Amino acid sequence: MTIEHLIENVSVNKSFGGWQKQYSHQSKILNCTMRFAIYLPPQVSNGEKVPVLYWLSGLTCSDENFMQKAGAQRIAAELGMAIVAPDTSPRGEGVADDEGYDLGQGAGFYVNATQAPWNRHYQMYDYVVNELPAIIEAAFEVSDQRAISGHSMGGHGALTIAMLNPERYSSMSAFSPVCNPVQAPWGKKAFTTYLGKDKADWRNHDASELMRKATAFIPAKVAQGGADNFLVEQLKPETLVAAAKDNGYPLELTIHEGYDHSYYFISSFIEEHLRFHAEHFTQ
């Protein structure tokens, strides 16, 4: 059976000469049915294999938020870039959950859970790094050139996944990332629940910790809203800046005054980020 038969098309919409599609599939890694969205630019209709930007969304989001709100398709069509947005966690009946918005379904934090009952389904790190790209590269007209980006919890995921797998990504970027989750309430709650109490395990998924000790450098671009109400308590971009400075890491971090944590912010600067990734695809 081919990979095309293992994914089921949920929706199709034409957009800027390309196609916005949504698929479901049975994930072997997550032990549940998963959904992802993909934008395929018009170049694929000519048989051209295009590079892929993987987008990781934030708390309470799904595979739909970025595709519907960021306004990325127009620029992706111009640049000849596919965009893939997975869901933010395993979902479904029998999948562990929590009443809080910042834990459980919709809040996978892009780590591999080691603690029961979460470890049965919550293996989002392996899903994003291995299973999903294998599906995308087998089923669609895309190359093996990859970049990764995300927002908030997904910004944390994008930065940490890229730095843990520098050979897999040509560039990384983030909007409003959780830069130092070992010191942030969201991170402490999620990491304690999914990874246990050993903080050494936490540091392996902390962007600031990883940037400080990285030996392989990937071009990095981070956008942060100056009026973000999560800025001080949860996001802590100053820790990422300090880590980059300590290690000479090529980080471009910009504080955009007046902007908040919403998709109004993302849509205002997404073009800069797509062009950043396109520049590094061509190198």
Provide the β-strand partners of residue 85: 37
Catalytic residue among 228, 273, 277, 280: 228
The string over 173-182, giving b where at least 16 C-beta atoms fall within 10 Å of a residue's C-beta and e elsewhere, is: bbbbbbbbbb
Residue 98 designated active-site: no
Catalytic residue among 15, 152, 170, 176: 152
Token pair in block for residue 189: 């709650």
Handedness of CA 8, 10, 14, 19 (dihedral sign): negative
Alpha carbons 56 and 151: distance in angstroms, whole number: 7
Residue 205 designated active-site: no
Contact, 149 vs 277, CB < 8 A? yes
Catalytic residue among 205, 261, 273, 277: 261
What is the distance of C-alpha 177 from the center of its chain? 10
Residue 152 designated active-site: yes
Token pair in block for residue 213: 């000790």
Alpha carbons 52 and 137: distance in angstroms, whole number: 9
Provide the β-strand partners of residue 222: 174, 253
Residue pointed to by tokens 């080691």: 114
- 3-class SS at 173? strand
Contact, 171 vs 77, CB < 8 A? no
Provide the β-strand partners of residue 104: 107
Q: Are strands 32-40 and 18-27 parallel, antiparallel or unpaired?
A: antiparallel
Closest residue by Cα to residue 117 from 125, 106, 105: 105
Q: Which residues are catalytic?
A: 152, 228, 261
